[in-house]
Structure 1
Amino acid sequence: MLEPRRLAARAAALRMAETLGERVGETVGYRMKGETKVTSKTRIEVVTEGVLTRMLQSDPELHGMGLVIFDEFHERSLQGDLGLALTLQAQEIFREDLKILVMSATLEGVDLARVMPEAPTVRSEGRSFPVEVRYLEPTQTPPTPKTLPDAVVKAVLDALRDEEGSLLAFLPGAREIRRVEEALKSKISDPGILIAPLYGAMDQKAQRLAIEPAPEGHRKVVLATNIAETSLTIEGVRVVVDGGFARRVRFDERSGMDHYETLPVSRNAATQRAGRAGRTAPGVCYRLWHENRALVPSYPPDILTSDLSPMLLDLAAWGAAPEDLAWIDTPPEYAVKNAKSTLISLNMMKESGVLTELGKAALKLGLHPRLAHMLLVGKEKGAGYEAALLAASLSEGTLRGGLIESVEALHRRNVPDRLAKNLQNLLNKMGIAAKKRIDPNVIGPLAGLAYPERIARRRGQGPGYQTVGGRGLKARLDDALAAHEWLAAAYVGGEGSEATIFAAAPLEKSQIEAWFGDRIETVEKVAWNENTGRVEARRLRKLGNITLSSEPLPNPDGGLIAKALLETVRKRGLVILPWSEKARRLRNRALCVNFTMPGTLPDPDDETLMSTLEKWLLPWLEGAQSLKELQKLDLYGILAVYLGYEGVQKLDRLAPERLEVPSGSKIAVDYGDPSAPVLAARLQELFGWMDTPRICEGRVWLTVHLLSPARRPLAVTTDLKSFWTNVYPEVKKEMHGRYPKHYWPENPFEAVATNRTKKHIKR
């Protein structure tokens, strides 16, 4: 049976064992990370969700198991969704006889039928007593996460004064619980009132004190996280104080990992909390918010909001991709892509999705991949203790400023007990011995191991930094870290185009070579230099997007130079090419044909030419290295090759460059507007032409511009016959006096076309 939390798993096992009159480890046992109570007699194992994943990884058939129960499934933790998906696939492939039971106090909005379509549904309405809900008065100010402990203390004292029975107060986490506990102990002198905290990182004795009924004649005040909403039954509670906030796991872009965030409680959770007051008798629920406050019905499941890199690591070990499994909510594609990118950057996964040896080692640690990478590599380099200190600090999610200072504080144990406990657990798990003194110089490289994409180098003398991953960062001007050329940033965030560095440690360039040499690449870069107007070739040593060194590249490959020129054309457009008038006319003629008869010729339009530069232009660029040499290209010849021999022949037939008119002259057709080509000729040269000339197999009428002897426009027409009949007589009257030496016949239909004056005609 799976429970989402260690405390709930232990409490459930204890309760069932007591019901049987046994100790834990006999018929009922439990298994969680770092703690197991199971014997050969055990028939029911209560486990935490991550444990089930490990069990499936080592034994996909789950030998000896007949039923897997997913309890409190409404919480929709990432490990719960993953565990169900893996168990369903194990059932499908290996164990048709394996039974699966999903249960919870509420499953509203959970589409189990999507993955378990044939499973029957069993409902138990249960019994509860009425609960009176009391809200803040309109004049009272609701608490914020910072002021919540004080507000809860006041509400608890009021409830103890006005109501009978034990009390359960909901707070977001252990930090707030401890503050409220201290305040209540200082204000309550009655020995009959017991203050009992309840959260995950407590010893079993303290947890039992909170869960068990209060002794005869005593009242109990239980200060709990949302674990007490549904996972546990606390006897004797008649009053609930709901602070209105809960701590939820969310992906924190600043740290690149999941962290807890304090959010307003959901409507479903508030209903569950109030119901704890009506388990055995009528009760009262104090809600520390106004009655008209809108609550979200429920929060989205973790699989839609969390960092998926730990899940992807598990799936790779299982041998499946996310799309291979049945999910209630499909993992977002962008989150899967980001997770894979993270694992590849940590050298834990190959592009194929297969785990590396480092990835397999990280899987055994059960830590976030970033922290696992830092610990494993840091230990190899003799900095395991410092890596454990930094990992414990990073897992807190509250770092600000220098990482070295945070690590030194943890080394001195000048930190909360829970953080020191986390450190000790890490040291024990890794087999790392504590040091008397730490080496502060390794903190920067260690942070770089956890966040390789956030290794950053200062740009110029300002506060701006360029990261290995390509992102821009900026240091705060009052931060001493801004004096360093190299930083490894752990926490970043804020508004604007560049994220602000909140927590980082300095690096030396020599450490870049020593710690990250396997990530440094030597590349040959051939690129266009706008200042010199030439292609330049250089050999670069790069760490991601940061160039460590650059030197001229002798005898660069001609193909690389040609590609660099091609990229310049792609960037600046076709206008950079030497378009002679002859080349333009050829292109416009082809455009005209394809406008009228699509697909007849290879398209020479801008979009097509730009998208096929490698095909038609690249072969002609070899040998050119500058803009001046680029201008020597014979673009007419290049386009002719692009159109092909048959294409050019077809073009000459369909859209001739010149057209012979009645005078015998061969006049160029203007294809500047491919949709309306123009023939401009002196009027006298067209006498006798009855019909407007056509091209493209008769599909396109030319627009005829009739010119005066001085080649000035007289008229524009697409209907010559109409022009001769209706317009020419007026033109003749006007032009005869202006150009008396030229031929102006009465009947243009029968006149002989000429490009000469009357004097030349007589000769």
Structure 2
Amino acid sequence: MGELAVERVLGDVVSVLGGGAGVLVAPPGSGKTTLVPGVLAGAFEGRVVVAEPRRIAARAAARRMAELRGERVGESVGYSVRGDRRVGPGTRVEVVTTGLLVQRLLADPELAGVGTVMIDECHERHLDTDLALGFLVESRQTLRPELRLLATSATADTLRLAELLEAGVVAADGSPHEVAVVWCPPERPVRPPHGLKVDPAFLDHVAAVVRRAWRETAGDLLVFLPGAAEIASVRGKLADLPTDVLHGRLPAAAQDAAIRAGDRRRVVLATAVAESSLTVPGVRVVVDAGLARVPRTDHARGLGSLATVRAAKASTVQRAGRAGREGPGVVYRCWSQLDDERLPAQPEPEVAVAELSAFALALACWGHPGGVGLALPDTPPDAAMRVAQATLRALGAVDDAGRATPRGHRMSRVGAHPRLARALLDGAPAVGARKAAEVVAILADDTLARGDDLAAAWRHLRDARDPRWRAEADRLQRSAAPDAPQRTATEDRQPAAVDQQRAATEGPQRADDDRKRANQDGGRRRAAGGDGAPVTMPDDLVAGLIVGLAYPERLARLRGGAYLMAGGTEAALAQGSALTGHPWLAVAVADRQPGSASARVRLAAAIDEDTAREAGVALLSTVDEVTAEGAERQERLGAITLRRRELKDPPRELVERALREALAKQGLRWTKEAAQLRQRMDFCHRVLGPPWPDVSDAAVIAHTDLSRVTKLSAVDPGTTLRAMLPWPAAARLDELAPERLPVPSGSLVRLDYSDPEAPVLAVKVQEAFGWLETPRIGDGRVAVLLHLLSPAGRPTAVTRDLASFWRTGYPQVRAELRGRYPRHPWPEDPATATPTRRTNPRK
């Protein structure tokens, strides 16, 4: 272990923590995760708690530290993650997830018995990491000044982190082993990632790079890909090579197996879970696709999605470091060195893009609604925080001031998203605590579900007795009890034994049978027993009720070939879904990819209207809908109209409002005469101002008397305009904005007011001979714009200065046109010539 860079600065770390807080920056594989906690346990009193961003990293770090001590996990080194805890009375170092640390802080802000907290991989900027940092800084300032805090990372923004923690900085230079870089950009252009789509040609390229690395190097290969779908695709292209898979959707046993060394050379295909705080034994080669999958949230629709983006430089450094942990290594990067220079330095913090309800509830329970006054690395976005706080108010978790209510504190202790906590607490009395807990356990980790049918997934898990799911359901069931202890919800004992009697008597039920019974009965599937306990309710309706309590805005009704959700968004099932055609769904998981008009249903339960009404009771309303076509009374569930009936003799004010809205949408129907009058009045309004009124569509609609109108066709804007004429000023309308003007030939020519800034008078040149002064209107304020026309009626000149035109413009017009129109007069001096409408007599 003497080769590890951190070993050279362990004394500095202890010295800095003697002052209370420190930041340790060390390259990947330098030993900060496995060496530092043990040294701190020996140097200071109290337990050392190490927080890791992922469960797989927490378990792996604890096992590695135990191995270095020659012990088993659970002796001096242990770990605690959701559903799995190995800690004994002699444990001095405990590795936990940052989410569990946040729960412990909310339950016990002083962290009794803990002497030092080490938060690892701060650069990843997960929500729980930000919360833990903010809570610990305040706890040290107000409750536990003796509590020591160490933040560690390979690529963190050191100065910013040190300022936040008021901490000294220790840097460990030098990697344990050199990692050579091989640049492998695609030979041909590939499409950039869009949403969840990655160009198949790029995955072909990644597979080709893996094969090249396999030929050119020795040792195991670790390949970074953005998600499970890409892993499956590349694995299929490498069918002849021994491959293992590592990603967060795998059971813990499968994850642990993937990071254990074997007796064969292999290719490990992994997502970002292998990026940090994790050593995969035997790996000397990394192939990095250079992509990352990040969350995106549509706050307006309440839908989330995942997007594939280019990985940040900090992430690519972490990934490359996996190759140099046990010896000299090499990283094959599937992009060019030029592209590498364009990568963002750090990944986007989760607080900037995530849904913040759980984050906001934790802040409220801590006593800082919205995060105001708390030392957070970044201020939460205002819009996302407003949506989160509105959600929490609707759930009864916070009051109008944003402070946590007793219900909010209880929801926080459940250890699940606030929506799921609400579904558990409110659903347990309706369907039974066990069933509610089992459904919520699936919703909390939807990777447990196969396909989009939630009830079918529930039956499968129940029949298979999935241990991870049962352990989480056990925990949630205890949390749902009215007298549940006020300990952190993730501070679990070992998972309780499965109720063997229940498992034996609960046989498999087919989804189609349940749905047939649901359609036949058409109502609640339960009856109160002697003790009032709910009984006999099909799986679909149980699952749907719990989903609806969590996401009432996602209750959906079939409309055409898609579903309209109560929140107003349209959603579609995947082709071939077993749920297709059911009149109602409770949608548990849906996302809307960029460029898509509708959401895609990922997980849902088939329900009936009664269940939808029960789950979405807060969204039920009765609305009188009055339109220009008629009136009706509608019963609604959010955006879904449940019932309609004709509304006779609706209130007159609603009729008038509907007519005005229809006029605003469809526009007024102007006759030619009314349109010309409006143009003249608009000219006066713009040039002279009050009392001449605004005559825009909106103004005319606002002045229209609709007290006796019953249909749009009866609306006459000309009548409204005449009523809007300002008397007595209106008596001068023909003087201020004349409809026609006399010209020297004696003709009365119509003025065109289409452009109120420049009314146009179009007159033939011959009719304007002798006219020296341009006419003015609008009380002499506006000179008319003359369009002087050829005998064919085409403009030959545009002017507001006749005298200048006769001197300079007319000679050129005369030279061009008198040959083409010889029967029309073209005098040499038009200023003194006689104007005429006639042609010269034939000779």
* TMscore range, shorter length: 0.5 to 0.7
Deviates more, 1:256-265 or 1:389-398: 256-265
Task: Report 1:273-288 matches (<5 A).
Answer: 275=321, 283-285=327-329
- 1:743 paired residue number: none
Unaligned runs of at least 5 residues, structure 1: 181-186, 188-194, 530-535, 708-712, 739-763
d(CA) in 2 for partners of 1:308 and 1:241?
38
Q: Measured at CA, do residues 383 and 727 of structure 1 come closer, stay the same or move farther in structure 2, by a change above 3 Å?
A: farther
Q: Per-residue displacement from partner, 1:399-457 (whole Å, max 9, x unpaired)?
A: 41422211111111265x43343334333443598674473232233333333222222
Instruction: Identify which of 585, 588, 592 aligns with 2:683.
Output: 592
d(CA) in 2 for partners of 1:442 and 1:324?
42
Aligned residues of 1:136 and 1:287 also touching (Cα < 8 A): no
Is the counterpart of residue 364 in structure 1 residue 417 in structure 2? no
Residue type of the alignment partner of 1:240: R
User: 1:548, CA displacement in angstroms?
Assistant: 0.4
Is the counterpart of residue 402 in structure 1 residue 453 in structure 2? yes
Secondary structure at the counterpart of residue 756 of structure 2 = coil
Aligned residues of 1:143 and 1:288 also touching (Cα < 8 A): no
Q: Per-residue displacement from partner, 1:675-733 (whole Å, max 9, x unpaired)?
A: 344689999x99999855433343223468999xxxxx9x9996788999835634369
Is the counterpart of residue 487 in structure 1 residue 585 in structure 2? yes
Q: Per-residue displacement from partner, 1:63-101 (whole Å, max 9, x unpaired)?
A: 998876433212222210233244456678x57968885
Q: Measured at CA, do residues 692 and 736 of structure 1 come closer, stay the same or move farther in structure 2, by a change above 3 Å?
A: same
Residue type of the alignment partner of 2:643: S
- 2:121 paired residue number: 72
Aligned residues of 1:677 and 1:703 also touching (Cα < 8 A): yes
Aligned residues of 2:356 and 2:384 also touching (Cα < 8 A): yes
User: 1:342, CA displacement in angstroms?
Assistant: 5.4
Secondary structure at the counterpart of residue 567 of structure 2 = coil
Unaligned runs of at least 5 residues, structure 2: 1-48, 188-199, 236-241, 483-498, 507-536, 790-794, 807-826
Task: Report 1:429-468 matches (<5 A).
Answer: 429-431=479-481, 436-437=505-506, 439-440=538-539, 441-459=541-559, 462-468=560-566
Task: Report 1:307-322 matches (<5 A).
Answer: 307-317=355-365, 318-321=367-370
d(CA) in 1 for partners of 2:587 and 2:354?
21
- 1:726 paired residue number: 830
Residue type of the alignment partner of 2:131: L
With CA pairs under 8 Å and 6+ residues apart, which has the higher RCO, 1 or 2? 2
Q: Per-residue displacement from partner, 1:367-426 (whole Å, max 9, x unpaired)?
A: 1234323322221212443333333333133541422211111111265x4334333433
User: 1:556, CA displacement in angstroms?
Assistant: 1.9
d(CA) in 1 for partners of 2:412 and 2:296?
20
Instruction: Identify which of 658, 661, 681 aligns with 1:564.
Output: 658
d(CA) in 2 for partners of 1:687 and 1:127?
95
- 2:430 paired residue number: 381
Aligned residues of 1:198 and 1:207 also touching (Cα < 8 A): no
Q: Measured at CA, do residues 721 and 518 of structure 1 come closer, stay the same or move farther in structure 2, by a change above 3 Å?
A: closer
d(CA) in 1 for partners of 2:729 and 2:403?
51
Is the counterpart of residue 418 in structure 1 residue 468 in structure 2? yes
Instruction: Identify which of 643, 646, 652 aligns with 1:549.
Output: 643
- Over aligned residue pairs, what C-alpha RMSD do you find? 6.2
d(CA) in 2 for partners of 1:56 and 1:199?
25
d(CA) in 2 for partners of 1:718 and 1:252?
59
d(CA) in 2 for partners of 1:605 and 1:637?
11
Q: Measured at CA, do residues 439 and 115 of structure 1 come closer, stay the same or move farther in structure 2, by a change above 3 Å?
A: farther
d(CA) in 2 for partners of 1:109 and 1:270?
16
d(CA) in 1 for partners of 2:700 and 2:92?
70
User: 1:550, CA displacement in angstroms?
Assistant: 0.9
Task: Report 1:654-669 matches (<5 A).
Answer: 655=737
Q: Measured at CA, do residues 692 and 518 of structure 1 come closer, stay the same or move farther in structure 2, by a change above 3 Å?
A: closer
- 1:675 paired residue number: 757
d(CA) in 1 for partners of 2:358 and 2:835?
87
d(CA) in 1 for partners of 2:628 and 2:328?
75
Deviates more, 1:249-258 or 1:518-527: 249-258
Aligned residues of 2:556 and 2:586 also touching (Cα < 8 A): yes
Instruction: Identify which of 477, 480, 488 aligns with 1:427.
Output: 477
Q: Measured at CA, do residues 17 and 243 of structure 1 come closer, stay the same or move farther in structure 2, by a change above 3 Å?
A: closer
d(CA) in 1 for partners of 2:803 and 2:170?
91
Q: Per-residue displacement from partner, 1:4-30 (whole Å, max 9, x unpaired)?
A: 245666787899999999999999997
Residue type of the alignment partner of 2:782: V
Is the counterpart of residue 508 in structure 1 residue 580 in structure 2? no
d(CA) in 2 for partners of 1:670 and 1:570?
26
- 2:783 paired residue number: 701
Q: Measured at CA, do residues 269 and 565 of structure 1 come closer, stay the same or move farther in structure 2, by a change above 3 Å?
A: closer
Is the counterpart of residue 617 in structure 1 residue 703 in structure 2? yes
- 2:160 paired residue number: 112
Secondary structure at the counterpart of residue 423 of structure 2 = helix
Residue type of the alignment partner of 1:116: L
Secondary structure at the counterpart of residue 683 of structure 2 = helix
d(CA) in 2 for partners of 1:239 and 1:665?
97
Deviates more, 1:377-386 or 1:692-701: 692-701
Aligned residues of 2:684 and 2:692 also touching (Cα < 8 A): no
Name the count of aligned residue pairs.
Answer: 674
d(CA) in 1 for partners of 2:692 and 2:163?
52
Aligned residues of 1:142 and 1:288 also touching (Cα < 8 A): no
Aligned residues of 1:680 and 1:705 also touching (Cα < 8 A): yes
d(CA) in 2 for partners of 1:332 and 1:82?
15
Secondary structure at the counterpart of residue 563 of structure 2 = strand
* TM-score, normalising length: structure 1: 0.67
Q: Measured at CA, do residues 579 and 323 of structure 1 come closer, stay the same or move farther in structure 2, by a change above 3 Å?
A: farther
Residue type of the alignment partner of 1:104: T
Q: Measured at CA, do residues 631 and 90 of structure 1 come closer, stay the same or move farther in structure 2, by a change above 3 Å?
A: farther
